Amino acid sequence: MDREAKKEAFRKYLESSGVLDTLTKVLVALYEENDKPSSAVEFVQQKLGGPSISDYEKLKAEKLDLQLKYNELLDTHKETCRQLEELKNMKYGAPWN
């Protein structure tokens, strides 16, 4: 398939999937804004349903915090399992049993 045919096939794909209509609507909404946003990219992201940059940063920080808490809990769990095994070994290995 030559380059022009690939371009045309891709254009048809974008059109049939609704991407062109969606992007056109978002760009028209941006054009019609009286007070243009300071970040056109963030405006487009929000209109497409994505988080704002500040929301994204908050979510990243929350994920990092949750990952740290998860790692702590996992370490605690491993230590508890180790202690449990130690207690089991003491019980079953004791000479009075």
pLDDT of residue 96: 56
pTM: 0.53
| Whole-angstrom distance, CA of residue 34 vs CA of residue 31 | 8
Alpha carbons 23 and 72: distance in angstroms, whole number? 44
In total, how many domains does the chain have?
2
Q: Give residue-wise pLDDT tens across range 36-76.
A: 999 999 899 889 988 878 888 999 999 999 999 999 999 99
> What is the spatial distance between Cα 77 and Cα 83, in angstroms, rounded to a whole number?
10
Looking at the structure, do residues 2 and 45 belong to the same domain, yes or no?
yes
* Domain identity same for 43 and 61: no
> Do 35 and 15 belong together in one domain?
yes
Output the pLDDT for position 7.
Answer: 94
Is the pLDDT assigned to residue 3 strictly greater than 80? Answer: yes
Mean pLDDT of all residues in the chain?
91
Indicate whether 59 and 97 sit together in one domain: yes
Q: Are residues 42 and 1 in the same domain?
A: yes
Residues 65 and 94 in one domain: yes
Which residues form the domain of 19?
Answer: 1-50
Q: Do 34 and 18 fall within a single domain?
A: yes
